[in-house]
Structure 1
């Protein structure tokens, strides 16, 4: 069942139930008021007839004649008067006698002073009446034909009005449900048009303030992320293809040249060295891509634990110097290492070491002396690492893009690389809720500043 239909039924059902309670309450309230009013009217008519009989001295036969000549004997109240000894003193029509006054009934009137009850459609009232220091028991019975007719008419009117109202409620509920869910229908229609080839389409956001607009805005934000992810994936695949093609083409060219004719052993050896160099470049690229993929994981899937930054820095320094013995990396601590907590962070040792290695290698390879320095400063809430070199520097045009994967700026002519190292370091720092920034001047060097919050 669609939400539109469910809302229509739910709203109509609740409103119809409330309206039914209201209609029932009106009918019952009117019926009770009519009944109470007619009991009062019966009592008043009986008192009037008793006064005519006792005070005015009208002959009982005359009163009986008036009763018998009434146009409707049902609506004409029938009065009977007894003394306290239960002797009948007057009766409008003994032969008709709509209600039988039994001794038990009369005794009940004497005890309770007044009783009322119904007998089919007839209403009966019995009460005590005092006149000239004497007490009488009077009963009056009649059918409220006019009142019951009005009650029936009211019932018909309420029932008809209820049915019409329920019908109008259903129509209105369906209209408003359709109107309220129209943004969802429009959203569904637009979503059906969105595919991998046109992720630039967006769903309508309506007035931008209600819940439907919030849903549309959230969905559009998700589409923004998906579009960026697809674009990044396309760019990533394109860059990988380009980076892999270069060393593979070089290896194939070397091997084809070597295999084209017989050559001296020295030339074969030289060709093998070139192939090995290209293979190493492929291995390094593969390792960088693997590290980049790890740095793109969901933080919930990565194992984080407290660790010391100074130990990771020294391990990263040793790893770089092992691969490049001619590099020189100086690590300086500006504060005495008395507070161990100031150098502790919550992180992943492998990824942090990868980031530090890339920043150190980057500083050394773009420096003419292959030398760079790491300065560590810490405060109560955070630690600052500065990776400083006096190399060729980075131009203002390249600075905004240096953390983009596979981007290589104008200084790429000074050293080999695949444009992954800095983007990988930036992702790892961001993964550890840190910040990274860069300041550089062409010909004077570059400083990368990394800031981490303590555990």
Structure 2
């Protein structure tokens, strides 16, 4: 069931319930009021007829004649306290059919009211000139009942007409209220991977539907940026893979054109092996880059000591490059292990730390990198500093972009993934990385991670 129909039916149901309750209250109130008024009128007419009999001395036959010639008039009977009948409008009809039990009930209560089929009946005590009489009267309120029936018919017709009108109006207003959603649906159907620049209309920018449209547009912005980044990433990967592959193919093809000496073949193999290692390193970096792009919920985290991670990363860097030197020191003595323990992924953090150490050694003439650990109340901060060639101030905003390589690329080989990978890993651990650098003086990377 569509929201528009559901809203229409819900609104109609609520309105029908309220209208029905209102109609029932009106009907009940009018019915009670009509009945109460007729009881009083019936009692008053019975008293008038008793006065004609007792005061004016009108003969009973005359009163009975008047009763027989009247239309829908009340039937009145007068008794003394001994239950002897003094007067009856229609003894042959006797609508009330007074019984001793009824008469006793009137004597004890003073007045009783009851129904005889469609007719209302009343019995009460009447005091006249020192004597007490029991009077009963019964009649049908034909005029009042007709008015009640007319009121009920009017309420029923009005209720049905109101429900129909509510359905029509509800459908119209729900369609009008949800028209921005229909516009959004039409616009969304036009959005594909090739035209992610399109956006859904945001309406007045104030109601909930506008908030939904704004949120959806923000999601489209992120998707568009992600697609663009992915396209750029694929383009860069293609370029990075094509260069060493083309070099390997060229070197091998040249070696097959004509016979060469063993030394020439060794040189060709060495060049091909170097390019193959570049490809292996690029493949490993891309794999780590992909792992760092996972959702945090899909990566295993556990408590880890930062100093142990840094020592393992240092060993990994020195093992791969024996001429590199990495020193690790604490800025202050830390007695509480929790201050240097964080919740993270061991493999990814080692990759991030090893990248920073390797960069520091790679771009320094003395191939040295110094790591300083500092712990505060909430975070662990590690500074990776070197005395290398530094980074140009204009290039600092771009160094964390994938495949970006600055002007210092001539000093060392690389593929431009390391720093981008490191930043993703740090952010994945709810951390922050910053850089300060001066040309020919060195660079300092500050990594801040929350501890337990």
- Give the shorter-chain TM-score range: over 0.9
Note if 1:87 corresponds to 2:84.
yes
Note if 1:255 corresponds to 2:249.
no
Which one is further off, 108-117 or 382-391? 108-117
Q: How does 1:194-209 map to 2 (within 5 A)?
A: 194-209=191-206
Q: 1:333 and 1:58 mapped to 2: Cα distance?
A: 126
SS of match in other structure, 2:192: coil
Q: 1:345 and 1:400 mapped to 2: Cα distance?
A: 28
8 Å contact from structure 2 (residues 96, 136) kept in 1? no
Q: From the superposition, tell whether residues 132 and 337 of structure 1 become closer, same or farther in structure 2 (CA, over 3 Å).
A: closer
Q: How does 1:3-18 map to 2 (within 5 A)?
A: 3-18=3-18
- How far off its partner does 1:101 sit? 2.9
Q: 1:96 and 1:347 mapped to 2: Cα distance?
A: 102
Which one is further off, 209-218 or 436-445? 209-218
Q: 1:267 and 1:107 mapped to 2: Cα distance?
A: 139
SS of match in other structure, 1:392: coil
What do the CA deviations read for 1:47-89 (whole angstroms, capped 9, x no partner)?
111122212333333333333333x1x1x22211112222221
- How far off its partner does 1:259 sit? 0.5
Q: How does 1:42-441 map to 2 (within 5 A)?
A: 42-70=42-70, 72=71, 74=72, 76-441=73-438
Which one is further off, 246-255 or 54-63? 54-63
Which one is further off, 30-39 or 178-187? 178-187
Q: From the superposition, tell whether residues 138 and 234 of structure 1 become closer, same or farther in structure 2 (CA, over 3 Å).
A: same
- How far off its partner does 1:357 sit? 0.9
What do the CA deviations read for 1:10-55 (whole angstroms, capped 9, x no partner)?
2112211221121122112211211111111111111111122212
- How far off its partner does 1:337 sit? 4.3
Q: 1:34 and 1:194 mapped to 2: Cα distance?
A: 68
What do the CA deviations read for 1:192-228 (whole angstroms, capped 9, x no partner)?
1111111111222223332222222222222222212
Which one is further off, 57-66 or 373-382? 57-66
Which one is further off, 277-286 or 440-449? 440-449
Q: 2:299 and 2:75 mapped to 1: Cα distance?
A: 97
Residue in 1 that maps onto 2:35? 35
Q: 2:160 and 2:333 mapped to 1: Cα distance?
A: 88
Unaligned stretches of 5+ in structure 1?
none
SS of match in other structure, 2:168: helix
SS of match in other structure, 2:185: helix
Count of aligned residue pairs for this structure pair: 452
- How far off its partner does 1:329 sit? 2.1
Q: From the superposition, tell whether residues 337 and 7 of structure 1 become closer, same or farther in structure 2 (CA, over 3 Å).
A: closer
Q: 2:102 and 2:96 mapped to 1: Cα distance?
A: 11
TM-score by length of 2: 0.96
SS of match in other structure, 2:393: coil
What do the CA deviations read for 1:164-183 (whole angstroms, capped 9, x no partner)?
21122111211221122222
TM-score by length of 1: 0.95
What do the CA deviations read for 1:298-333 (whole angstroms, capped 9, x no partner)?
111222122221222122112111111112222232
SS of match in other structure, 1:398: helix
Q: 2:291 and 2:92 mapped to 1: Cα distance?
A: 109
